[in-house]
A and B are shown apart, each in its own frame.
Chain A
Amino acid sequence: MNRDIDQITNKKDTFTLGGHEFNSRFILGSGKYSLDLIKAAVEEAGAQIITLALRRANQGGMANILDYIPKGVTLLPNTSGARTAKEAVRIAHLAREVGCGDFVKVEVIRDTKYLLPDNQETIKATEILAKEGFVVMPYMYPDLNVARDLVNAGAACIMPLGSPIGTNKGICTKEFIQILIDEIDLPIIIDAGIGRPSQACEAMEMGATAIMANTAIATAGDIPTMASAFKMAIESGRKAYLAGLGRVMDKGASASSPLTGFLQPTDN
């Protein structure tokens, strides 16, 4: 909890990933956009990090996504398309070769229906890439034991999923993500499933370090406005978290006759 107190006093309220400091707690996905709207989304979101599927970063030709990402934004290449740790490592190497830097979001998926991450392979890939000096951000199904293994493997943060990717269902895995927030000392960035600003806000209130969203914004009626709405929700949730949420009354929490009433004022 000490880090939170530090952050309340830190007016900038930044967080670090692999030695890099970030102000914005909103990471933008880029996979489902009309390319010419990416710039506006990044600007309105105030995002400093944008993910990029290497398989979409085609070299040359028409519609190269790299041409649409504003300068100064940190590129977070992901390993989507990888079905095993070995493939994830290979894709990360390719990303480095084409000049995407040292950040990598590890995604290992061998299920085309739900696109759920394979935690075991993710741990393996994280370990290999962290040793090679990558800033590894693993996408995972929220499991405490796996999160601990990822910490030990050298991950820079943990990216648990809120609900299956693209479903916009919000934080279905709330209880388990809360455990990660409470127990893991690395930044917890909630990825996948966040469909509306209120859900992003909820994630931040829980104490998440940041959130990542793609589908929710890419498929919105007005993309820049939705990006801005998310930004505000994230900032609001963050503030609420830092302020300390008010007293929440659970059912029966306030009994009419006190349970401690039997105690004598002075102990004879």
Chain B
Amino acid sequence: MKKEREHRNDHMVYLPDMEILDSDIEKRVIERMNSYDYDSYTAKDVKMALGHERCTLKDFEAFLSPAALPFLEDMARKAKFETRKHFGNSIYMFTPLYISNYCENFCIYCGFNCHNHIRRAKLNEEQIETEMKEIAKSGLQEILLLTGESKKMSDVKYIGEACKIARRYFSVVGLEVYPMNSDEYAYLHECGADYVTVFQETYNSDKYETLHLAGHKRIFPYRLRAQERAIRGGMRGVGFAALLGLDDFRKDALATGYHAYLLQRKYPHAEIAFSCPRLRPIINNDRINPMDVHETQLLQVITAYRLFMPFANITISTRECARVRDNLIGIAATKISAGVSVGIGDHQKEEEARGDEQFEISDGRTVKEVYEVIKNQGLQPVMSDYIYV
């Protein structure tokens, strides 16, 4: 391990094949995050922010501060109002499909990391089609394709072929794969994909460096500019996320929101989405780490995202349990996955075609079950609100 550390490359220096964008967004996000002193916000700031019709950046900072916690109910009410105003009763449904779990990165918190001895698998085109056929039977029309981050084992062409197959079975194709150059995004857009999500994990580059020890993912600025390259490549929408709890979640949430905000300002046609994954705290252990992200803090972040960018989609993952997810769609989340499997090749007959999961899910309900839950809340499950042009 020590030897490995000595040989680690500089995480701020681009590798030779990486496109370098001329953009000041990264600099602005990092500066704002570094200067964010959340303890300086008071109840008065939060009350003022709640009274504003439009949420300023300072309001967003107030909503993310500890001073906002006693106002969570008010924030949730305001968030619900904004969500319904912009989305009506619609709740979008989708499912992720992992097509490969090979990974070249060494991210110490991830189940797919290259040093973990898990069953690796990569579906071939025929197997991808089998999986998609099965999923499409559920009535879903949106699919999110995921791979481990290995350009060698799942190259751009392979992902492109998966997109082409997906277009035959689904209206909406999203990607959650390794960051790439804008011409590669353009190619995948041509193949049928239109949405790209990249989790930055943490916006604190020093922390990032200690968690991502090897691989392409180690290059912090290349990852941070992925969404901008995706938009330049012609993608319609981009998704943002920090893995809350990896570092100071308040700062990471601020950076995530501000990152999305600046990008939408620069590319006003881009559709914006947030995901809100968190590292679950160890139960009954909150004295050890005051920065743990419990459900309360998660709700604070999600409502703050909603109030800051009321038009953005917010996805709520199956890492959260049914109770939390069902309530969040009534407040701020607009997108929910269902019938989720995070392993590889669940619909394959041969055992050897299957690969292990990235993480454990907490909501294993079927599409039909989630559909009914949405309807029972007086909301409308929507399978597709999209047209490929």
How many cross-chain pairs have Cβ atoms below 8 Å apart between A and B?
Answer: 80
Contacts A58-B171, A219-B89 known; A33 to B139 CB distance under 8 Å? no
Docked-complex contact B268 and A110, CB < 8 angstroms? yes
Contact with B along A197-212 (1 / 0, CB 8 A): 0000000000000000
User: Bound complex: CA of A47 vs CA of B86, how far in Å?
Assistant: 23
C-alpha gap A219/B371 in the complex (Å): 20
Stretch in B4-12, B283-291, B314-322, B378-386 touching the partner = B378-386
Q: Are A62 and B381 in contact (CB under 8 A)?
A: yes
- Give the CA-CA distance A32 to B382 in the complex, in Å: 10
Contacts of B380 in A (CB 8 A): 33-35, 63
Check B389 for interface membership: any CB of A closer than 8 A: yes
Give 1 or 0 for each of B350-382: 1 = CB within 8 Å of chain A CB: 000000000000000000000100010011111
**B-contact bits for A58-76, CB 8 A (1 contact / 0 none):** 1001110000000000000
Majority DSSP secondary structure for residues of A touching B: loop
Task: Give A166 to B309 CA distance when docked, in angstroms.
Answer: 14
**How distant is the Cα of A164 from the Cα of B84 in the complex, in angstroms?**
15
Asked whether, in the complex, the Cβ of A63 is within 8 Å of the Cβ of B88, the reply is: no
Q: Enumerate chain B residues within 8 angstroms of A63, measured Cβ to Cβ.
A: 139, 380-383
Q: Which of A17-25, A81-89, A153-161, A176-184 contacts B (4 or more CB under 8 A)?
A: A81-89
Q: Is B272 an interface residue (CB 8 A)?
A: yes
A53: which B residues are within 8 A, CB to CB? 385
Q: A81 — which chain B residues lie within 8 A by C-beta?
A: 386-387, 389
Contact of B88 among A31, A82, A83, A94 (CB under 8 A): A31
Query: In the bound complex, what is the Cα–Cα distance between A168 and B89 (angstroms)?
Result: 16
With both chains docked as a complex, state the minimum distance between the C-beta of A158 and any C-beta of chain B, in angstroms. 24
Give the chain A neighbours of B381 by CB distance below 8 A.
62-63
How long is the Cα–Cα vector from A115 to B89 in the complex, in angstroms? 18
Residues of A within 8 A of B271 (CB): 112
Q: Residue on B with the closest CB to A94?
A: B387
**Shortest distance between the CB of A125 and any CB in chain B (Å):** 12
User: Considering only CB atoms, which chain B residue lies closest to A165 in the complex?
Assistant: B86
A250 within 8 A of B: no
Cβ of A150 under 8 Å from chain B:
no
* Contact of B275 with A by CB under 8 A: no
Asked if A6 is at the interface (CB within 8 A of a chain B CB), the reply is: no
* B378 and A56 contact, CB distance less than 8 A: no
- Hey, which chain B residues are within 8 Å of A111, CB to CB? 268-269
B84-122 contacts to A (CB < 8 Å): 84-90
CB of B377 to closest CB in A, whole Å: 10
The one of B84, B141, B264, B379 that contacts A113, using a Cβ cutoff of 8 Å: B264
A91: CB under 8 A from chain B?
A: yes
Within 8 A of A (CB), among B230-283: 264, 268-272
Instruction: Kindly list chain B residues whose C-beta atoms are within 8 Å of the C-beta of A42.
Output: none
Q: Which residues of A contact B371 (CB under 8 A)?
A: 62
Does A120 lie at the interface of the complex (its beta carbon under 8 Å from any beta carbon of B)? no
| B382 CB contacts on chain A under 8 angstroms | 56, 63
CB distance from B128 to the nearest CB of A (A): 20
Pairs A-B, 4 closest by C-beta atoms: A32-B88, A62-B139, A55-B387, A110-B269
Can you list 16 residue pairs at the A/B interface with Cβ under 8 Å? A31-B90, A32-B90, A34-B379, A54-B387, A58-B384, A61-B139, A62-B381, A63-B382, A63-B383, A83-B269, A91-B387, A94-B387, A110-B269, A112-B272, A167-B85, A215-B85
Sample of 11 more A-B contacts, CB < 8 Å, known A58-B141, A58-B171: A32-B87, A33-B380, A35-B380, A55-B386, A58-B383, A62-B383, A81-B389, A112-B272, A113-B264, A113-B311, A166-B85
A residues lining the B interface (CB < 8 Å): 31-35, 53-56, 58, 61-63, 81-83, 87, 90-91, 94, 110-113, 115, 166-168, 214-215, 218-219
